[in-house]
Chains A and B, each alone.
Chain A
Amino acid sequence: MIAGYLGAGKTTLINRMLADAVQPFAVIVNDLGALAVDEALIAGQRGTTLSLTNGCACCQISADLAAQLARLRQDDFSALVFEASGVAKASRLAALTSQAEGYALAKVVTLVDGLDAPRLLADAYLSPLIKEQIAAADWVLQTKRSKGVHPSLAALSKDIDQLSSQGRLPAALAPEYCFDQTARLEAGIKAPLFQHRVIFPRPGLAPDVLQTFIADHPEIERVKGWLVGSTDAVLVQATRAHFQARAVARAHGQGLQFIWRGDAELNFSALT
């Protein structure tokens, strides 16, 4: 679930997620505003988007949400990204959607506009809502401001990360990454569509060894992370169609993340 007040960048983020997607995922937009998710991305089979037009937040007899959630289950999506309305209390919506059969809430990401935050937090009508959205999140990301987390936000929570408007999204924002095995089992889905694992390759592993490994394993959909050398490191971003490795000054030590299809184990001994 992506939460956050109007203008926090929810739709922009979802468009970036769609552009990055390894596997199509579904998007539900729970807002009556204009549907701004990029139609070109949807048309390109990156996902399907549905907009909820039922605006009655106090009434649970919504044919809309229930029917759409049920319909999406027929379509075999591995993940659903739910864009909360800008005025939704994240905790309440999370509680509500987590009841849907066949779904399990993986995480709530709240976005906060770093430039607008001082105004919002000073607004008597809005500050309780903004604080609630932050408090209810599993992960808070500040958008739009590049000069560090705004002090008014930092004062609310120590764990606010910055989301850059450029470059690739953090791996943890990939829907398939959120959608881990436990959540799938809770949702009653037996065979996992994807698995993911972080491995730590042996020091000095050459990028072309990794590229060959990916080519030899067609079930691999996505690889990203670092290969650590003695003095430098290589940042790898790979999909089936594209392999990119570039030298960076330092590694972040997070290892190399693999996402692959199916429920079979992968043998990583060639890399570690």
Chain B
Amino acid sequence: MIEVYVAKNIITMNPSLPEATAIAVRDGEILEVGSLESLSPWLIRDDYQIIETFQDCVIVPGFIDPHLHPAMAAVILPMHFITAMPWTLPWCEVPASLTSHAFDQEMQRISATVDDEILIFWGHHDLWHGTMHRDRLDAIDADRPIVAWNRSFHELHMNAACMAQLGITEASISGRAQIDFEAGRFFENGLAFAIQKLNPYILSDTRFTLGLERLKQVVHAGGHTTIGDLAVGLFDFERELATTVKIFERDDTPFRIEQVPHGAVITHNRSFEETQTLLSNLSSNSSHRLNFRARVKLFSDGAFFSQLAQLLAPGYLDGHVGEWLTAPEVLHEHILNFWRAGYQIHVHVTGDMGVEVALDGLAKAQAEHPRLLHGFTLEHMGYATPEQIERAKGLGASVSANIYYLHELSGRYAELSVGYERASTMGRLKTCFDAGITTALHSDFSMAPAQPLLNMWVAVNRINAQGEQMGAAECLTPEQALAAVTLNAAKILGIETFTGSLRAGKRADLTVLSDNPLTVDPLLIKDIRVVATVFEGSVAPIETA
């Protein structure tokens, strides 16, 4: 049986046939893309069914987010969101709570409807919601443990019942910095103390499983048919393997996960030969939806949100320096080992000095053992100079960028972190495209919303949270942005032979949209609705609230 999907437009990302109106699918595989007329040689040879559900919609290749972190998301998603910005979550619509009163009302409302052992709210922000205090949480319910976690994640408040439940007393925290017992406030380093107490709860099997179930909904709602888990082992390698198979290797999961192991974890206490044996076993035991391949994730410099990116001169406004997540010489050693063994190497780089060290490693590897089409990828790439982008091109590197940095942080970073020039040119993506580098977008979820259309909107318009356009010369065209969440993202994961575009022979991974992202007003790209996805020929509708 052949299924024929017809649509207003089908954007194929296949340069030889960029647009079409019908697509024939059999057994999860695309037979042909074209029009109802051009498909007839197939249709006269087999039974077929024309699917008209999407005839007023636009079909694009299934979205691919080549870099997110399911394990990290699993920790946050079970929390109750109360945020200044509205969030669309598949299980609830989070309204914008713009005042202190609105925040309290939401806490009250949620408190009355759920019976969590510890009630955790996420999203409190002083600018909108006023000062938090344990008395304020006690006023919601003095008898049940409540935590209000700050939007930044670097601070939380808990009420007296929560402290009692976790065994936190005034004596047990006396003298510790960055804890205010009276206010129930734990921040920065003091947060570590609170997290230590909360860990058994937030990392419990029940919540972790719930978090992954929710992630499944988030990924689907974003319109993805493939995601990359770009550091399997971030928390616990064995546990992540076991849990992801249980939650995701099921018929109702409408996407695949490309698994890229955390290099430092996978090589820990193993010879490189043992590491290779382990990884090749994992690859050959890959299941249908969960796949290891010859890929590895390495880390260069620190977190972008924490201003720990390593910067070349002139550095940060306040003179602080970033951090290395891996010593440069150790990173180079890992790069060389995996390079010689033929791996596709992904390196987390946030600052331009982090980029420099990664490219130094790639240059060494190329000098010793030249490779073509190796897929070495700079991940995130908050800051990079135009000259580094030329060098990356010369060495054959690809780029997978977190462009949401620009939206969320460029306004504040211009004032407080690095000054306007560098803040406005973070995510220098037009330069990457112009250089001919394979360039993709990712969310790094839960660092940014897992919504490819939102990331496309940022890449095309470069509008920050304050509504100001930043670095107009680096705006992508809508075509480039769409490539960055489809075909280019497939190349980043090394799976472009079977997904990422729509052509005969690829798997039938489609995303169905309410409008055409290439022709709508670019400012409206983020408002396009994801109607459904098709994963390997199976339709998975997306319910909207």
Contacts and interface: CB of A to CB of B under 8 A. Distances in A.
B172 A99 contact: no
Contact of B323 (A54, A67, A89): A89
Contact of B269 (A35, A59, A98, A99): A35
Contact of B193 (A51, A99, A132): A99
Contacts of B321: 128-129, 132
Contact of A53 (B171, B179, B268): B268
Contact of B236 (A35, A59, A63): A63
B247 to A, nearest CB: 19
Contacts of A59: 72, 234
A87 B326 contact: yes
Interface in A193-250: none
Interface residues of A, number: 39
A101 B306 contact: no
Given A60-B195, A89-B323, A188 B189 contact: no
B357 interface: yes
Contacts, number: 106
Contact of B303 (A53, A58, A67): A58
Contacts of A69: 196
Given A61-B75, A95-B177, A132-B321, A55 B199 contact: no
B328 A96 contact: no
B76 to A, nearest CB: 9
Interface string A122-143: 0011101100100000000000
Contact of B192 (A60, A67, A70): A60
Given A89-B323, A96-B189, A125-B353, A6 B329 contact: yes
B445 to A, nearest CB: 14
Contact of A101 (B189, B196, B303, B326): B196
A186 interface: yes
A32 B268 contact: yes
B330 A57 contact: no
B325 A55 contact: yes
Contacts of A271: none
Interface string B293-310: 000000100110110101
A66 B195 CA distance: 8
A61 B199 contact: yes
A100 interface: yes
B313 to A, nearest CB: 9
Nearest to B168: A101
B505 interface: no
A155 interface: no
Contacts of A87: 323-327
Contacts of A63: 199, 203, 235-236
B191 interface: yes
A74 to B, nearest CB: 15
A34 B271 CA distance: 9
A60 B188 CA distance: 9
B234 A56 contact: yes
B522 interface: no
Name A's interface SS.
Answer: loop
Interface string B217-248: 00000000000000000111000000000000
B262 interface: yes
Interface in B434-474: none
A99 B302 contact: no
B183 interface: no
B199 A54 contact: no
A35 B329 CA distance: 18
A57 B323 contact: yes
A188 B172 contact: yes
A86 interface: yes
B202 interface: yes
B265 interface: yes
A33 B177 CA distance: 31
B264 A101 contact: no
A60 B325 CA distance: 14
Nearest to B237: A53
Nearest to B154: A60
B364 interface: no
A96 B195 CA distance: 12
B310 A95 contact: no
Contacts of B175: 186
B326 A66 contact: no
A51 B269 contact: yes
B302 A86 contact: no
A71 B325 CA distance: 26
A5 interface: yes
B306 A61 contact: no
Contact of B328 (A55, A67, A70, A126): A126
B109 interface: no
B101 interface: no
Contacts of B327: 5-6, 86-87
A1 B236 CA distance: 25
27 contacts: A33-B268, A54-B234, A55-B262, A55-B264, A55-B299, A57-B303, A61-B75, A63-B236, A66-B192, A66-B195, A66-B199, A69-B196, A86-B330, A87-B326, A87-B327, A95-B177, A95-B188, A98-B176, A99-B176, A99-B177, A99-B179, A100-B196, A101-B172, A125-B310, A125-B328, A128-B321, A129-B323
Interface of A: 5-6, 32-35, 51, 53-61, 63, 66-67, 69-70, 86-87, 89, 92, 95-96, 98-101, 124-126, 128-129, 132, 186, 188
Given A99-B178, A126-B328, 7 more contacts: A34-B268, A56-B234, A61-B75, A98-B177, A100-B192, A125-B328, A129-B323
- Across the A-B interface, the 5 shortest Cβ-Cβ residue pairs: A58-B303, A66-B196, A32-B264, A87-B324, A128-B321
